[in-house]
A and B are shown apart, each in its own frame.
Chain A
Amino acid sequence: MAMTKKKLRLVKTDTPPFWVKPAIPVLALIGTFIITSGLILLSNANPFETYYYFLFAPLGSRVSTLEILVKATPLILTGVAVTFAFATGYYNIGAEGQLYAGAIAAAGLGVALHGVPAIIAIPVMILGGFIAGMAWALIPALLKIKLAVDEVVTTLLMNSIMAYIVSALLNGPWRDPASGWPQSPEISPTAMFFKIVPRSRLNFGFVIAIAAILILWIIMTRTSFGLKMRAVGLGKPAAKFAGISVNKTILIAALVSGGVAGVAGVAEVAGIQFHLIGELSPGYGYTGVIIATLGSLNAFGVGLAAIFFGLVDAGAQTVSRALGVPVYLGEITQATMLLVALGMLLLQRYKIRRM
């Protein structure tokens, strides 16, 4: 006889209770804490103390709080860039390369614009970075719409090509003549982004990032192009049937995505480093993919996710100084957080029943 005991089961539900959504970040954090505790213990540190440094220490002083926003700036921009593409169903993994394309443009223009007033130099650099990012995104986008070549592969490979181009530039023509280091000459002081808070590193780049969030939100929810993007991303055949030009929509979204990633490169060169260096981005482009996903491709979600990642980034450096644990714990925490949060987003559609 097939009499079985009542078991706990997951049952699908279309209407999760109202408290589920706000609870997800909290639950994800608790889950991440439990999972990463073991690793923290292995590096001979106290998990609670470590998490205190991750999450609260950066908020302890004015300078370190502002540093969170400094760290969040490139992440917001790459997150917005990736969201543009992903929402249209174009999986641009190439934000990293597009960021460097923008950075090269900024470093080149920044030097060329010596003596040009900031009011002209800064917009020219931003525009130049946007165009450079677009140009770098153009080849995979054309391959996708003309020959249906998988963009995940091409955009990813373009990142490697860009890494070599940057390396070739820095070890060749752009090597700093003064120091001999593999870094480009310093950009003109008028091309440097001004500080928006004195005695901190927080600069005009953060303003651009916030503007990018607002523009993304307006395009996605208030414009016919945004609706076309979502229609193409969520149902290509239906979009095509409704007379929307699928390829054109994908091409524009891919180019805008590349352009915004390029601006992230401009912000790093003009706001933080003032040179092009090989380590300009510790993978901001890839983190952008995580941030876009965590933010559920929603403009404000992307902003929040980026600021949270900025917090953990800032915290990871403090914690490594204070407790002597490897700085990589921050990255591990971010990655774990992503997996846990994605799991939660999936599980919110279920409820637990005993039957």
Chain B
Amino acid sequence: MNIVEMKNITKQFGDLTANDNVDFELRKGEIHALLGENGAGKTTLMRILYGLYQQTSGDILINGKKIVINSPKDAIANGIGMVTQHFALVPPMTVAENVILGYNDRFVIDRASIEKKVGEAAEQFGLDINPKSLVRHLSVGQRQRVEILKALFRNARVLILDEPTAVLIPQEVDVLFETLTRLCKEDLSVIFISHKLDEVTKITNRVTVLRDGKSFGTVNTADVTQNQLAAMMVGREAFGVKREVNTSSDDILLEIKNLSALDNQGLDCLKNINLTIHAGEILGIAGVGGNGQSELAETLCGVRPVSSGEIILDGVNLIGKNPAEFTKAGMGRVPEDRHEGVVGDLSVYENLALEYLDEYSNNGILDRKAIRKNAEDLIKQFQIKAKPNDMIRTLSGGNMQKVLLARVLSREPKVVIAPQPTRGLDVGATDYVREQLIKQSKRGAGVIMISEDLDEILSVSDRIAVIYEGEIVGILPAHEATPERLGLLMSGAVKEN
């Protein structure tokens, strides 16, 4: 029995066809993955089902009956709930208040009775959450549980989860998966939007693959391998870039000595860090998010002041210099948050020149010809899908990252600092970024790649340093590293130095 059927759904935004004649069927009680690269049309399709968008053409059937969904209100009335990537919760309110918000039509709210009701519902659905807690005190995983509870409280029989694991730590992912499996036994149906193959194969019953807005068919998860799914998703078998030859030399390029720094609250976030990077080497820095990685990248870019220590690049101590001087000295910096690295409302060519304005101007007057020429060259060289005049904000995440890589790498910096370089990118773009980093090391640059993705660390690095609470707790050659050994270091359970 199909609880949801979407037939020949087409959605156009101006000239862009986000969904092209897509068919999608959801069975009662299954977990159904909607798999595809960024921009494949997964989220668009689900926003149509949830009433946030209206399809240009095509039909939606719930329990075999054709319906029109004009708004999320209609969707909720039809038993559809959605948990988006950005939670729609009011942080200063309690869990119970958030759950009943917009659902309780009484004028006076009886706090005790709603807390009791919400508490009972949480227990019934097996969602471990205290209805009296303030949402702002909750972790990301707990907030997600509140969102799920909110949907279930509104009698959702179909739950749409948009990339639910993107914000979670591994343990929270396990809890989420347990919850979903249990709820599905009670006939809830789940649509799981993702581009992570391991999760899809782990938890779902069936997979529908979208590519370029078109449906590439639905398969039983048990019948396919990850490589086959990847091929369906990107249209080629290639999956995962691996470091094949170690190009490290013995020349020390960058030395970080006894580096300490404070975070924005004025607390110690980097404690006595010592690292060396050799020419041609990729040093991976592994760690659970929030252990000082961002601050480390910022100090190495000159954006965050250090409280003590030295950063010696090719014999020159960079301490006390400004970010522009760091760049000039040969430190190439890929920003951690793409959106903070580009100015969305400036064009591609302006963003590409932003770091080197002195070079592109004579007596303060911009050499617009040279800037445009530079942009055209880099667009070709780095295969950026954009025109020089396009506003950066209209680009996809992958292309935005290519612009940032182009800006940094075209200068052939001595050291490349890449914090979370593939976060939020699809398989194709991830491969592209890793290939570029490896290319830099072959050229003789030192690469510092900070990543929370262990697969990435293991497949790209020559040496791996693990950071825990602002300290480097271990440095080991990549061939000696295993996920288990790194996991122990990352959890702070052991120190190897």
A→B interface (CB under 8 Å): 1-4, 7, 9, 13-15, 222-228, 230-231, 234-235, 237-245, 355
Contact = CB atoms under 8 A, between A and B. Distances in A.
Given A227-B357, A235-B343, A243-B327, A2 B74 contact: yes
A48 B210 CA distance: 59
Contact of A237 (B70, B340, B361, B364): B340
Given A2-B69, A224-B358, A241 B333 contact: yes
B394 A14 contact: yes
Given A234-B344, A238-B342, 8 more contacts: A14-B394, A15-B15, A224-B358, A227-B346, A227-B353, A227-B354, A235-B342, A237-B337
Contacts of B13: 13-14
Interface of B: 13-15, 54, 65, 67-70, 74, 77-78, 301, 303, 322-324, 326-327, 333, 335, 337, 340-346, 350-351, 353-355, 357-358, 360-361, 364-366, 368, 394
Nearest to B336: A241
Given A15-B14, A223-B361, A231-B346, A241 B68 contact: no
Contact of A239 (B15, B74, B326, B343): B343
A242 B342 CA distance: 9
Given A235-B344, A238-B340, A238-B342, A3 B67 contact: yes
Contact of B350 (A9, A225, A227, A244): A227
Contact of B354 (A4, A225, A242): A242
A308 to B, nearest CB: 26
Contact of A1 (B67, B350, B358, B360): B67
A228 B65 CA distance: 57
Contacts of B70: 2, 4, 7
A244 B351 CA distance: 12
Contacts of A7: 70
Given A3-B67, A223-B364, A239 B354 contact: yes
Contacts of A227: 346, 350, 353-354, 357, 366
Contacts of A14: 13-14, 394
B74 A238 contact: no
A228 B366 CA distance: 11
Nearest to B71: A4
Contact of B323 (A1, A13, A15, A240): A240
Contacts of B324: 243-245
A245 B323 CA distance: 9
A28 B484 CA distance: 66
Contacts of B394: 14
Nearest to B358: A224
A3 B69 CA distance: 8
Contacts of B337: 237
A225 B354 CA distance: 11
Contacts of B354: 227, 231, 238-239, 242, 244
Contacts of A237: 337, 340-341
B343 A231 contact: yes
A231 B70 CA distance: 39
Contacts of B65: 1
A243 B14 contact: no
Contacts of A243: 322-324, 326-327, 355
A242 B14 contact: no
Contact of B303 (A15, A222, A241): A241
A3 B68 contact: yes
Contact of B360 (A9, A224, A239, A245): A224
A242 B333 CA distance: 9
Given A2-B67, A13-B14, A355-B54, A224 B74 contact: no
Nearest to B368: A222
Given A2-B77, A231-B346, A240 B322 contact: no
A237 B294 CA distance: 14
Which 7 pairs show the lowest CB-CB distances between chains A and B?
A: A243-B324, A235-B343, A237-B340, A224-B361, A2-B74, A224-B357, A242-B354
Most buried by B among A14, A234, A243, A355: A243
Contacts of A9: 54
A223 B366 contact: yes
Nearest to B327: A243
A14 B16 CA distance: 11
A239 B77 CA distance: 46
Contacts of A224: 357-358, 360-361, 364-366
Contacts of B366: 222-224, 226-227
Contacts of A223: 361, 364-366
B260 to A, nearest CB: 22
A15 B391 CA distance: 13
Contacts of B54: 9, 355
Contact of B341 (A4, A13, A241, A245): A241
A241 B323 contact: yes
Contacts of A241: 301, 303, 323, 333, 335, 340-341
Given A1-B65, A235-B345, A240 B364 contact: no
Nearest to A3: B68
